[in-house]
Chains A and B, each alone.
Chain A
Amino acid sequence: MSADNAILLAICVPLATALGIQLAGRVSDNLREAVTLTGAASLAWVVWGMLPSLFEGARPALTVSELLPGVSIAFEVEPLGMLFAALASGLWIVNSVYSIGYMRGNREKKQTRFYTCFALALGATMGIAFAGNLVTLFLCYELLTLSTYPLVSHKGDEATVRSARVYLGILLCTSIGLLLPAIIWTYHVTGNGDFTVGGILAGKIAGADVGLLLALFVFGIGKAAVMPVHRWLPAAMVAPTPVSALLHAVAVVKAGVFSVTKIIVYIFGVDFLFATPSAGWLLYAAAFTIIAASLVALRQQNLKRLLAYSTVAQLSYVVMAAAVLKPLAEIGAAIHMVAHAFGKITLFFAAGAIYTAARKTELHQLRGIGRRMPWTTAAFTIGGLSMIGVPPTGGFVSKWYILAGAFQADNLLAIFTIIASTVLNAAYFLPIIFMAWFADEQPGGKEHGEAPPLMVLALACTALLTLGFFFFNGPVIELEKQLVQGMLQ
Protein backbone atom coordinates (compact mmCIF):
# COMPACT_ATOMS: atom_id res chain seq x y z
CA MET A 1 0.00 0.00 0.00
CA SER A 2 1.54 3.27 -1.04
CA ALA A 3 1.40 6.17 1.34
CA ASP A 4 -0.57 8.29 -1.14
CA ASN A 5 -3.33 5.73 -1.27
CA ALA A 6 -3.25 5.49 2.49
CA ILE A 7 -4.53 9.06 2.66
CA LEU A 8 -7.50 8.21 0.53
CA LEU A 9 -8.06 5.08 2.56
CA ALA A 10 -7.91 7.00 5.83
CA ILE A 11 -10.75 9.20 4.65
CA CYS A 12 -12.77 6.45 3.01
CA VAL A 13 -12.60 3.90 5.82
CA PRO A 14 -14.76 5.99 8.19
CA LEU A 15 -17.18 6.76 5.37
CA ALA A 16 -17.42 3.09 4.48
CA THR A 17 -17.86 2.32 8.15
CA ALA A 18 -20.73 4.80 8.30
CA LEU A 19 -22.40 3.05 5.39
CA GLY A 20 -21.75 -0.33 6.97
CA ILE A 21 -23.25 0.82 10.25
CA GLN A 22 -26.39 2.02 8.47
CA LEU A 23 -26.81 -1.36 6.80
CA ALA A 24 -25.80 -3.44 9.80
CA GLY A 25 -28.09 -1.40 12.04
CA ARG A 26 -31.04 -2.93 10.25
CA VAL A 27 -29.84 -6.45 11.00
CA SER A 28 -28.70 -6.49 14.59
CA ASP A 29 -27.14 -4.29 17.23
CA ASN A 30 -24.22 -6.61 17.80
CA LEU A 31 -23.31 -6.67 14.15
CA ARG A 32 -23.50 -2.88 14.07
CA GLU A 33 -21.14 -2.57 17.02
CA ALA A 34 -18.81 -5.06 15.38
CA VAL A 35 -18.75 -2.90 12.26
CA THR A 36 -17.95 0.17 14.35
CA LEU A 37 -15.09 -1.53 16.13
CA THR A 38 -13.74 -3.03 12.91
CA GLY A 39 -13.90 0.36 11.23
CA ALA A 40 -12.14 2.05 14.13
CA ALA A 41 -9.45 -0.61 14.23
CA SER A 42 -8.81 -0.52 10.50
CA LEU A 43 -8.65 3.25 10.50
CA ALA A 44 -6.06 3.17 13.26
CA TRP A 45 -4.15 0.52 11.33
CA VAL A 46 -4.15 2.63 8.18
CA VAL A 47 -3.21 5.85 9.95
CA TRP A 48 -0.58 4.39 12.22
CA GLY A 49 0.84 2.54 9.24
CA MET A 50 1.82 5.88 7.78
CA LEU A 51 3.92 6.81 10.79
CA PRO A 52 7.21 5.09 9.86
CA SER A 53 7.49 6.83 6.51
CA LEU A 54 6.74 10.17 8.20
CA PHE A 55 9.65 9.64 10.55
CA GLU A 56 11.84 9.14 7.52
CA GLY A 57 10.77 12.53 6.31
CA ALA A 58 8.31 11.45 3.62
CA ARG A 59 5.39 13.75 2.84
CA PRO A 60 2.72 11.68 1.08
CA ALA A 61 0.43 13.86 -1.01
CA LEU A 62 -2.66 13.41 -3.09
CA THR A 63 -4.59 15.81 -5.31
CA VAL A 64 -8.22 14.90 -5.84
CA SER A 65 -9.47 17.65 -8.08
CA GLU A 66 -8.56 21.14 -9.13
CA LEU A 67 -11.61 23.30 -8.59
CA LEU A 68 -10.29 26.57 -9.95
CA PRO A 69 -6.84 27.48 -11.14
CA GLY A 70 -4.72 27.31 -7.99
CA VAL A 71 -7.61 26.10 -5.88
CA SER A 72 -7.74 22.37 -5.43
CA ILE A 73 -8.91 19.60 -3.16
CA ALA A 74 -5.62 18.12 -2.08
CA PHE A 75 -4.21 16.24 0.86
CA GLU A 76 -0.72 16.16 2.25
CA VAL A 77 0.53 14.44 5.36
CA GLU A 78 2.85 16.44 7.58
CA PRO A 79 3.94 15.93 11.21
CA LEU A 80 1.26 18.03 12.88
CA GLY A 81 -1.56 16.48 10.88
CA MET A 82 -0.12 13.02 11.33
CA LEU A 83 -0.10 13.49 15.07
CA PHE A 84 -3.67 14.71 15.08
CA ALA A 85 -4.86 11.87 12.86
CA ALA A 86 -3.01 9.25 14.89
CA LEU A 87 -4.50 10.67 18.08
CA ALA A 88 -8.08 10.82 16.82
CA SER A 89 -8.00 7.43 15.13
CA GLY A 90 -6.41 5.75 18.14
CA LEU A 91 -8.88 7.22 20.59
CA TRP A 92 -11.79 6.28 18.34
CA ILE A 93 -11.22 2.63 19.23
CA VAL A 94 -11.27 3.35 22.95
CA ASN A 95 -14.21 5.64 22.53
CA SER A 96 -16.16 3.03 20.55
CA VAL A 97 -15.72 0.54 23.36
CA TYR A 98 -16.88 3.17 25.81
CA SER A 99 -19.80 4.23 23.58
CA ILE A 100 -21.13 0.71 23.45
CA GLY A 101 -21.17 0.55 27.21
CA TYR A 102 -22.68 4.02 27.53
CA MET A 103 -25.36 3.75 24.87
CA ARG A 104 -26.50 0.35 26.09
CA GLY A 105 -26.19 1.28 29.74
CA ASN A 106 -28.44 4.30 29.22
CA ARG A 107 -30.74 2.60 26.66
CA GLU A 108 -30.37 5.51 24.26
CA LYS A 109 -32.58 5.75 21.18
CA LYS A 110 -31.42 6.07 17.57
CA GLN A 111 -28.14 4.32 18.21
CA THR A 112 -27.60 3.57 14.54
CA ARG A 113 -27.77 7.27 13.65
CA PHE A 114 -25.38 7.94 16.51
CA TYR A 115 -22.71 5.52 15.32
CA THR A 116 -23.15 6.56 11.69
CA CYS A 117 -22.64 10.24 12.42
CA PHE A 118 -19.73 9.38 14.65
CA ALA A 119 -17.99 7.57 11.81
CA LEU A 120 -18.74 10.44 9.45
CA ALA A 121 -17.28 12.91 11.95
CA LEU A 122 -14.12 10.83 12.12
CA GLY A 123 -13.88 10.84 8.33
CA ALA A 124 -14.12 14.63 8.35
CA THR A 125 -11.51 14.77 11.10
CA MET A 126 -9.10 12.73 8.99
CA GLY A 127 -9.76 15.14 6.15
CA ILE A 128 -8.88 18.09 8.36
CA ALA A 129 -5.75 16.38 9.62
CA PHE A 130 -4.45 15.59 6.16
CA ALA A 131 -5.72 18.70 4.34
CA GLY A 132 -3.06 19.98 2.00
CA ASN A 133 -4.46 23.46 1.54
CA LEU A 134 -6.95 25.89 3.01
CA VAL A 135 -9.89 24.98 0.81
CA THR A 136 -9.66 21.31 1.65
CA LEU A 137 -9.36 22.23 5.30
CA PHE A 138 -12.46 24.40 5.04
CA LEU A 139 -14.41 21.68 3.26
CA CYS A 140 -13.63 19.08 5.92
CA TYR A 141 -14.14 21.60 8.70
CA GLU A 142 -17.70 22.25 7.55
CA LEU A 143 -18.38 18.56 7.11
CA LEU A 144 -17.24 17.97 10.68
CA THR A 145 -19.60 20.65 11.96
CA LEU A 146 -22.54 19.28 10.02
CA SER A 147 -21.92 15.64 10.88
CA THR A 148 -21.71 16.40 14.59
CA TYR A 149 -25.00 18.32 14.73
CA PRO A 150 -27.15 15.17 14.93
CA LEU A 151 -24.83 13.93 17.69
CA VAL A 152 -25.20 17.05 19.76
CA SER A 153 -28.95 17.15 19.32
CA HIS A 154 -29.18 13.42 19.98
CA LYS A 155 -31.57 13.66 22.90
CA GLY A 156 -34.06 15.50 20.74
CA ASP A 157 -35.98 17.47 23.37
CA GLU A 158 -36.62 21.20 23.19
CA ALA A 159 -33.69 22.35 25.36
CA THR A 160 -31.24 20.05 23.58
CA VAL A 161 -32.28 21.24 20.16
CA ARG A 162 -31.91 24.84 21.29
CA SER A 163 -28.38 24.20 22.52
CA ALA A 164 -27.53 22.26 19.40
CA ARG A 165 -28.71 25.21 17.35
CA VAL A 166 -26.31 27.47 19.27
CA TYR A 167 -23.56 24.97 18.53
CA LEU A 168 -24.30 24.82 14.85
CA GLY A 169 -25.07 28.51 14.53
CA ILE A 170 -21.81 29.69 16.07
CA LEU A 171 -19.64 27.21 14.21
CA LEU A 172 -21.23 27.73 10.81
CA CYS A 173 -21.59 31.49 11.10
CA THR A 174 -18.01 32.05 12.16
CA SER A 175 -16.67 29.71 9.52
CA ILE A 176 -18.67 31.19 6.67
CA GLY A 177 -18.61 34.73 7.97
CA LEU A 178 -14.93 35.01 8.92
CA LEU A 179 -12.93 31.96 7.90
CA LEU A 180 -14.15 31.86 4.31
CA PRO A 181 -13.30 35.52 3.58
CA ALA A 182 -9.92 34.96 5.23
CA ILE A 183 -9.27 31.97 3.00
CA ILE A 184 -10.36 33.77 -0.13
CA TRP A 185 -8.26 36.75 0.87
CA THR A 186 -5.25 34.48 1.24
CA TYR A 187 -5.82 32.93 -2.15
CA HIS A 188 -6.40 36.36 -3.58
CA VAL A 189 -3.04 37.73 -2.50
CA THR A 190 -0.93 34.61 -2.86
CA GLY A 191 -2.60 32.73 -5.70
CA ASN A 192 -2.72 29.54 -3.70
CA GLY A 193 -3.44 28.35 -0.20
CA ASP A 194 -1.15 25.36 0.04
CA PHE A 195 0.32 24.60 3.44
CA THR A 196 3.98 25.33 2.82
CA VAL A 197 6.88 25.10 5.21
CA GLY A 198 7.80 28.64 6.21
CA GLY A 199 4.45 30.12 5.22
CA ILE A 200 3.24 31.76 2.05
CA LEU A 201 2.07 35.16 3.20
CA ALA A 202 5.41 36.79 3.89
CA GLY A 203 5.86 39.73 1.56
CA LYS A 204 2.32 39.44 0.18
CA ILE A 205 0.59 41.33 2.91
CA ALA A 206 1.84 43.76 5.52
CA GLY A 207 0.98 46.07 8.38
CA ALA A 208 -2.41 46.02 10.08
CA ASP A 209 -3.77 43.68 7.42
CA VAL A 210 -1.75 40.84 8.94
CA GLY A 211 -3.41 41.29 12.31
CA LEU A 212 -6.82 41.54 10.65
CA LEU A 213 -6.29 38.41 8.58
CA LEU A 214 -5.06 36.56 11.63
CA ALA A 215 -8.17 37.66 13.50
CA LEU A 216 -10.40 36.44 10.69
CA PHE A 217 -8.65 33.09 10.84
CA VAL A 218 -8.59 32.70 14.61
CA PHE A 219 -12.18 33.76 15.24
CA GLY A 220 -13.33 32.16 12.00
CA ILE A 221 -12.12 28.84 13.33
CA GLY A 222 -14.78 28.82 16.02
CA LYS A 223 -13.77 25.31 17.01
CA ALA A 224 -10.63 26.72 18.62
CA ALA A 225 -12.99 28.42 21.11
CA VAL A 226 -10.97 31.58 21.65
CA MET A 227 -13.25 33.95 23.54
CA PRO A 228 -15.75 35.34 22.53
CA VAL A 229 -16.55 32.46 20.15
CA HIS A 230 -16.38 29.80 22.86
CA ARG A 231 -20.11 29.68 23.63
CA TRP A 232 -20.74 26.63 21.48
CA LEU A 233 -18.58 24.41 23.65
CA PRO A 234 -20.67 24.54 26.84
CA ALA A 235 -23.77 24.39 24.63
CA ALA A 236 -22.49 21.17 23.08
CA MET A 237 -22.45 19.51 26.49
CA VAL A 238 -26.08 18.49 25.97
CA ALA A 239 -24.69 15.70 23.80
CA PRO A 240 -24.27 12.17 25.15
CA THR A 241 -20.98 11.84 27.02
CA PRO A 242 -19.08 9.74 24.43
CA VAL A 243 -19.67 12.60 22.01
CA SER A 244 -18.39 15.13 24.52
CA ALA A 245 -15.44 12.86 25.18
CA LEU A 246 -14.17 12.14 21.71
CA LEU A 247 -15.51 15.12 19.82
CA HIS A 248 -15.53 17.94 22.29
CA ALA A 249 -12.36 16.94 24.06
CA VAL A 250 -10.47 15.53 21.09
CA ALA A 251 -11.64 15.63 17.50
CA VAL A 252 -13.69 18.81 17.07
CA VAL A 253 -11.88 21.14 19.44
CA LYS A 254 -8.49 19.80 18.44
CA ALA A 255 -9.50 20.33 14.82
CA GLY A 256 -9.89 23.97 15.80
CA VAL A 257 -6.57 24.51 17.51
CA PHE A 258 -4.88 22.23 15.03
CA SER A 259 -6.14 24.43 12.20
CA VAL A 260 -5.01 27.58 13.99
CA THR A 261 -1.56 26.14 14.61
CA LYS A 262 -1.29 24.85 11.09
CA ILE A 263 -2.28 28.22 9.65
CA ILE A 264 0.21 30.04 11.86
CA VAL A 265 3.03 27.67 10.96
CA TYR A 266 2.32 26.91 7.31
CA ILE A 267 0.37 29.91 6.02
CA PHE A 268 1.68 32.91 7.92
CA GLY A 269 5.03 31.46 8.80
CA VAL A 270 6.32 31.78 12.35
CA ASP A 271 9.14 34.16 11.48
CA PHE A 272 6.87 36.43 9.49
CA LEU A 273 4.34 36.69 12.30
CA PHE A 274 7.07 37.24 14.87
CA ALA A 275 8.31 40.19 12.85
CA THR A 276 4.84 41.70 12.46
CA PRO A 277 3.68 43.71 15.48
CA SER A 278 0.03 43.78 14.44
CA ALA A 279 -0.22 40.02 15.00
CA GLY A 280 0.73 40.33 18.66
CA TRP A 281 -2.86 40.58 19.87
CA LEU A 282 -3.37 36.85 19.57
CA LEU A 283 -1.23 36.18 22.62
CA TYR A 284 -3.38 38.51 24.70
CA ALA A 285 -6.62 37.05 23.39
CA ALA A 286 -5.44 33.53 24.22
CA ALA A 287 -4.14 34.54 27.64
CA PHE A 288 -7.41 36.28 28.42
CA THR A 289 -9.36 33.21 27.35
CA ILE A 290 -7.26 30.96 29.57
CA ILE A 291 -7.77 33.07 32.66
CA ALA A 292 -11.39 33.97 32.00
CA ALA A 293 -12.45 30.43 31.18
CA SER A 294 -10.68 29.09 34.26
CA LEU A 295 -12.50 31.63 36.41
CA VAL A 296 -15.83 30.67 34.87
CA ALA A 297 -14.99 27.01 35.44
CA LEU A 298 -14.44 27.74 39.13
CA ARG A 299 -18.07 28.75 39.46
CA GLN A 300 -19.63 25.82 37.63
CA GLN A 301 -21.79 23.36 39.54
CA ASN A 302 -22.39 20.93 36.68
CA LEU A 303 -19.54 18.52 36.07
CA LYS A 304 -19.77 18.48 32.28
CA ARG A 305 -20.02 22.26 32.06
CA LEU A 306 -16.98 22.57 34.27
CA LEU A 307 -15.09 20.24 31.98
CA ALA A 308 -16.29 22.28 28.99
CA TYR A 309 -14.90 25.52 30.38
CA SER A 310 -11.72 23.74 31.37
CA THR A 311 -11.50 22.63 27.73
CA VAL A 312 -11.93 26.23 26.54
CA ALA A 313 -9.00 27.23 28.74
CA GLN A 314 -6.83 24.30 27.71
CA LEU A 315 -7.48 24.97 24.01
CA SER A 316 -6.21 28.47 24.42
CA TYR A 317 -3.02 27.00 25.86
CA VAL A 318 -2.43 25.56 22.44
CA VAL A 319 -3.32 28.80 20.71
CA MET A 320 -1.14 30.77 23.10
CA ALA A 321 1.74 28.36 22.66
CA ALA A 322 1.45 28.71 18.92
CA ALA A 323 1.27 32.48 19.31
CA VAL A 324 4.49 32.60 21.32
CA LEU A 325 6.09 31.93 17.93
CA LYS A 326 9.16 30.09 19.21
CA PRO A 327 10.20 26.56 18.19
CA LEU A 328 9.85 24.98 21.61
CA ALA A 329 6.46 26.57 22.06
CA GLU A 330 5.25 25.23 18.71
CA ILE A 331 6.32 21.76 19.82
CA GLY A 332 4.57 22.44 23.09
CA ALA A 333 1.40 23.35 21.19
CA ALA A 334 1.51 20.09 19.30
CA ILE A 335 2.11 17.87 22.29
CA HIS A 336 -0.36 19.73 24.43
CA MET A 337 -2.99 18.64 21.93
CA VAL A 338 -2.04 15.06 22.72
CA ALA A 339 -1.62 15.45 26.46
CA HIS A 340 -4.85 17.35 26.87
CA ALA A 341 -6.65 14.85 24.67
CA PHE A 342 -5.68 11.93 26.92
CA GLY A 343 -6.48 13.80 30.09
CA LYS A 344 -9.75 15.33 29.00
CA ILE A 345 -11.14 12.20 27.39
CA THR A 346 -10.46 10.42 30.68
CA LEU A 347 -12.32 13.10 32.59
CA PHE A 348 -15.31 12.93 30.25
CA PHE A 349 -15.30 9.15 30.35
CA ALA A 350 -15.37 9.34 34.12
CA ALA A 351 -18.22 11.88 34.05
CA GLY A 352 -20.18 9.61 31.73
CA ALA A 353 -19.47 6.58 33.88
CA ILE A 354 -20.74 8.41 36.96
CA TYR A 355 -23.88 9.48 35.07
CA THR A 356 -24.54 5.95 33.84
CA ALA A 357 -23.97 4.27 37.16
CA ALA A 358 -25.38 6.88 39.54
CA ARG A 359 -27.29 9.45 37.41
CA LYS A 360 -25.19 12.14 39.04
CA THR A 361 -24.26 15.25 37.09
CA GLU A 362 -23.70 17.96 39.72
CA LEU A 363 -20.52 18.53 41.69
CA HIS A 364 -22.06 18.42 45.14
CA GLN A 365 -23.49 14.98 44.41
CA LEU A 366 -20.01 13.55 44.04
CA ARG A 367 -19.23 13.45 47.74
CA GLY A 368 -17.67 10.18 48.67
CA ILE A 369 -18.23 8.60 45.29
CA GLY A 370 -14.66 7.31 45.34
CA ARG A 371 -15.68 4.51 47.64
CA ARG A 372 -18.44 3.29 45.35
CA MET A 373 -16.61 3.79 42.05
CA PRO A 374 -12.91 3.52 42.85
CA TRP A 375 -11.72 2.84 39.30
CA THR A 376 -13.64 5.70 37.81
CA THR A 377 -12.59 8.09 40.53
CA ALA A 378 -8.96 7.06 40.21
CA ALA A 379 -9.08 7.75 36.50
CA PHE A 380 -10.76 11.07 37.17
CA THR A 381 -7.98 11.95 39.57
CA ILE A 382 -5.31 11.19 37.00
CA GLY A 383 -7.12 13.26 34.40
CA GLY A 384 -7.52 16.16 36.80
CA LEU A 385 -3.86 16.07 37.78
CA SER A 386 -2.93 16.08 34.11
CA MET A 387 -5.04 19.20 33.59
CA ILE A 388 -3.17 20.90 36.41
CA GLY A 389 0.12 19.66 35.04
CA VAL A 390 1.35 17.59 37.94
CA PRO A 391 3.96 14.93 37.20
CA PRO A 392 3.78 12.06 36.40
CA THR A 393 1.00 12.93 33.98
CA GLY A 394 1.05 13.97 30.34
CA GLY A 395 -0.05 17.50 31.16
CA PHE A 396 3.29 18.17 32.78
CA VAL A 397 5.26 17.45 29.62
CA SER A 398 3.39 19.84 27.41
CA LYS A 399 3.33 22.59 30.01
CA TRP A 400 7.06 22.19 30.34
CA TYR A 401 7.57 22.74 26.64
CA ILE A 402 5.22 25.69 26.49
CA LEU A 403 6.97 27.29 29.44
CA ALA A 404 10.34 26.61 27.84
CA GLY A 405 9.11 28.28 24.68
CA ALA A 406 7.85 31.25 26.67
CA PHE A 407 11.24 31.61 28.31
CA GLN A 408 12.89 31.32 24.92
CA ALA A 409 10.88 34.34 23.86
CA ASP A 410 11.22 36.05 27.21
CA ASN A 411 7.48 36.32 27.13
CA LEU A 412 6.46 37.30 30.64
CA LEU A 413 2.78 37.41 29.80
CA ALA A 414 2.78 33.79 28.70
CA ILE A 415 4.76 32.69 31.73
CA PHE A 416 2.47 34.53 34.09
CA THR A 417 -0.64 33.16 32.41
CA ILE A 418 0.59 29.59 32.66
CA ILE A 419 1.38 29.95 36.33
CA ALA A 420 -1.88 31.71 37.15
CA SER A 421 -3.97 29.20 35.29
CA THR A 422 -2.17 26.31 36.92
CA VAL A 423 -3.25 27.72 40.25
CA LEU A 424 -6.80 28.12 38.98
CA ASN A 425 -6.86 24.60 37.56
CA ALA A 426 -5.77 23.29 40.91
CA ALA A 427 -8.43 25.40 42.57
CA TYR A 428 -11.26 23.75 40.71
CA PHE A 429 -9.98 20.20 40.28
CA LEU A 430 -8.45 19.48 43.67
CA PRO A 431 -11.62 20.15 45.72
CA ILE A 432 -13.56 17.75 43.50
CA ILE A 433 -10.93 15.07 43.83
CA PHE A 434 -10.72 15.61 47.57
CA MET A 435 -14.48 15.54 47.94
CA ALA A 436 -14.84 12.40 45.88
CA TRP A 437 -12.34 10.43 47.92
CA PHE A 438 -12.59 11.78 51.44
CA ALA A 439 -15.92 13.52 52.02
CA ASP A 440 -18.78 11.62 53.56
CA GLU A 441 -21.56 10.59 51.29
CA GLN A 442 -24.85 12.41 51.62
CA PRO A 443 -27.41 10.17 53.22
CA GLY A 444 -30.43 8.99 51.23
CA GLY A 445 -28.63 8.47 47.95
CA LYS A 446 -29.44 5.39 45.92
CA GLU A 447 -27.23 2.36 46.00
CA HIS A 448 -24.94 1.88 43.04
CA GLY A 449 -21.64 0.31 42.19
CA GLU A 450 -19.09 0.75 39.43
CA ALA A 451 -20.12 1.58 35.84
CA PRO A 452 -20.52 -1.13 33.15
CA PRO A 453 -17.23 -3.00 32.59
CA LEU A 454 -16.78 -1.78 29.00
CA MET A 455 -16.79 1.79 30.19
CA VAL A 456 -14.38 1.12 33.02
CA LEU A 457 -12.08 -0.63 30.59
CA ALA A 458 -12.08 2.38 28.30
CA LEU A 459 -11.45 4.93 30.97
CA ALA A 460 -8.72 2.84 32.54
CA CYS A 461 -7.05 2.73 29.13
CA THR A 462 -7.09 6.47 28.67
CA ALA A 463 -5.94 7.06 32.25
CA LEU A 464 -2.98 4.78 31.58
CA LEU A 465 -2.27 6.69 28.38
CA THR A 466 -2.25 9.91 30.39
CA LEU A 467 0.32 8.46 32.74
CA GLY A 468 2.21 6.74 29.97
CA PHE A 469 2.58 9.92 27.98
CA PHE A 470 4.73 11.32 30.77
CA PHE A 471 7.23 8.54 30.34
CA PHE A 472 7.02 7.65 26.68
CA ASN A 473 6.66 10.87 24.75
CA GLY A 474 9.89 10.60 22.75
CA PRO A 475 8.44 9.63 19.37
CA VAL A 476 5.83 12.39 19.49
CA ILE A 477 8.41 15.04 20.24
CA GLU A 478 10.70 13.58 17.60
CA LEU A 479 7.92 13.84 15.03
CA GLU A 480 6.99 17.36 15.96
CA LYS A 481 10.57 18.55 15.83
CA GLN A 482 10.20 18.14 12.10
CA LEU A 483 7.49 20.76 12.30
CA VAL A 484 9.94 23.44 13.28
CA GLN A 485 12.97 22.03 11.49
CA GLY A 486 14.12 25.22 9.90
CA MET A 487 13.71 27.22 13.09
CA LEU A 488 15.66 25.09 15.50
CA GLN A 489 19.09 25.95 14.20
Chain B
Amino acid sequence: MNLLELLGYFNYWVFAIVLSVGLYTVIAKVNLVKKLIGLSIFQSAVFLMYITMDKVEGGTAPIIQKGVENQVFSNPLPQVLILTAIVVGVSTLALGLAIVVRIYEAYGTIEEDEILDAD
Protein backbone atom coordinates (compact mmCIF):
# COMPACT_ATOMS: atom_id res chain seq x y z
CA MET B 1 0.00 0.00 0.00
CA ASN B 2 1.67 3.21 -1.08
CA LEU B 3 1.32 6.65 0.33
CA LEU B 4 -1.22 7.73 -2.23
CA GLU B 5 -3.53 4.84 -1.36
CA LEU B 6 -3.19 5.66 2.29
CA LEU B 7 -4.06 9.26 1.59
CA GLY B 8 -7.00 8.05 -0.43
CA TYR B 9 -8.60 7.01 2.83
CA PHE B 10 -7.94 10.44 4.33
CA ASN B 11 -11.54 10.81 5.47
CA TYR B 12 -11.17 7.70 7.63
CA TRP B 13 -7.85 8.97 8.95
CA VAL B 14 -9.56 12.14 10.04
CA PHE B 15 -12.26 10.04 11.69
CA ALA B 16 -9.69 7.96 13.54
CA ILE B 17 -7.68 10.96 14.69
CA VAL B 18 -10.68 12.95 15.86
CA LEU B 19 -12.01 9.86 17.64
CA SER B 20 -8.72 9.39 19.46
CA VAL B 21 -8.49 13.05 20.41
CA GLY B 22 -11.97 12.89 21.86
CA LEU B 23 -11.41 9.67 23.77
CA TYR B 24 -8.09 10.93 25.10
CA THR B 25 -9.69 14.12 26.34
CA VAL B 26 -12.43 12.20 28.12
CA ILE B 27 -9.95 9.96 29.88
CA ALA B 28 -7.12 12.38 30.59
CA LYS B 29 -8.85 15.56 31.66
CA VAL B 30 -9.84 16.14 35.24
CA ASN B 31 -12.15 19.03 34.60
CA LEU B 32 -15.67 17.80 34.06
CA VAL B 33 -16.55 20.35 31.39
CA LYS B 34 -13.44 19.42 29.44
CA LYS B 35 -14.46 15.79 29.71
CA LEU B 36 -17.80 16.67 28.17
CA ILE B 37 -16.07 18.57 25.39
CA GLY B 38 -14.00 15.48 24.73
CA LEU B 39 -17.13 13.36 24.68
CA SER B 40 -18.66 15.69 22.11
CA ILE B 41 -15.57 15.50 19.90
CA PHE B 42 -15.62 11.73 20.24
CA GLN B 43 -19.21 11.57 19.08
CA SER B 44 -18.62 14.02 16.26
CA ALA B 45 -15.96 11.73 14.87
CA VAL B 46 -18.55 9.02 14.52
CA PHE B 47 -20.94 11.40 12.82
CA LEU B 48 -18.15 12.14 10.42
CA MET B 49 -17.68 8.47 9.68
CA TYR B 50 -21.33 8.05 8.81
CA ILE B 51 -21.49 11.16 6.65
CA THR B 52 -18.34 10.34 4.77
CA MET B 53 -19.46 6.84 3.91
CA ASP B 54 -22.69 7.93 2.27
CA LYS B 55 -20.93 10.08 -0.29
CA VAL B 56 -21.12 8.63 -3.77
CA GLU B 57 -18.70 10.12 -6.27
CA GLY B 58 -20.55 12.60 -8.39
CA GLY B 59 -23.71 12.09 -6.38
CA THR B 60 -26.10 14.88 -5.54
CA ALA B 61 -28.83 15.40 -3.05
CA PRO B 62 -31.44 12.66 -3.42
CA ILE B 63 -34.28 14.68 -4.85
CA ILE B 64 -36.17 13.11 -7.70
CA GLN B 65 -36.84 15.64 -10.47
CA LYS B 66 -39.04 15.18 -13.44
CA GLY B 67 -37.15 14.87 -16.64
CA VAL B 68 -33.81 14.13 -15.14
CA GLU B 69 -32.87 10.54 -15.72
CA ASN B 70 -29.91 8.45 -14.55
CA GLN B 71 -29.09 10.83 -11.77
CA VAL B 72 -26.53 9.58 -9.23
CA PHE B 73 -27.58 10.24 -5.64
CA SER B 74 -25.66 10.18 -2.43
CA ASN B 75 -27.12 7.76 0.10
CA PRO B 76 -29.56 9.76 2.24
CA LEU B 77 -30.05 7.19 4.96
CA PRO B 78 -26.83 7.80 6.95
CA GLN B 79 -27.61 11.50 6.96
CA VAL B 80 -30.99 10.80 8.45
CA LEU B 81 -29.44 8.49 11.01
CA ILE B 82 -26.85 11.05 11.96
CA LEU B 83 -29.49 13.73 12.29
CA THR B 84 -31.02 11.53 14.96
CA ALA B 85 -27.64 10.75 16.48
CA ILE B 86 -26.84 14.46 16.69
CA VAL B 87 -30.07 15.04 18.58
CA VAL B 88 -29.10 12.25 20.94
CA GLY B 89 -25.63 13.72 21.31
CA VAL B 90 -26.95 17.19 22.05
CA SER B 91 -29.35 15.84 24.68
CA THR B 92 -26.54 13.90 26.30
CA LEU B 93 -24.36 16.99 26.33
CA ALA B 94 -27.16 19.08 27.79
CA LEU B 95 -27.83 16.56 30.51
CA GLY B 96 -24.13 16.25 31.19
CA LEU B 97 -23.78 20.00 31.58
CA ALA B 98 -26.82 20.09 33.82
CA ILE B 99 -25.21 17.48 36.04
CA VAL B 100 -22.00 19.50 36.09
CA VAL B 101 -23.97 22.53 37.27
CA ARG B 102 -25.55 20.43 40.03
CA ILE B 103 -22.13 19.09 40.98
CA TYR B 104 -20.80 22.64 41.19
CA GLU B 105 -23.72 23.60 43.44
CA ALA B 106 -23.17 20.61 45.68
CA TYR B 107 -19.39 20.51 45.83
CA GLY B 108 -18.26 23.99 44.81
CA THR B 109 -15.85 22.59 42.24
CA ILE B 110 -15.88 20.79 38.93
CA GLU B 111 -12.45 19.22 39.21
CA GLU B 112 -12.80 15.45 39.54
CA ASP B 113 -9.97 14.96 42.04
CA GLU B 114 -11.34 17.62 44.36
CA ILE B 115 -14.78 16.03 44.22
CA LEU B 116 -13.31 12.68 45.15
CA ASP B 117 -11.50 14.29 48.07
CA ALA B 118 -14.70 15.96 49.25
CA ASP B 119 -16.53 12.71 50.01
Are A and B direct contacts in the complex by CB distance below 8 Å?
no
Binding site for B on A (CB under 8 A): none
Interface residues of B (CB under 8 A from A): none
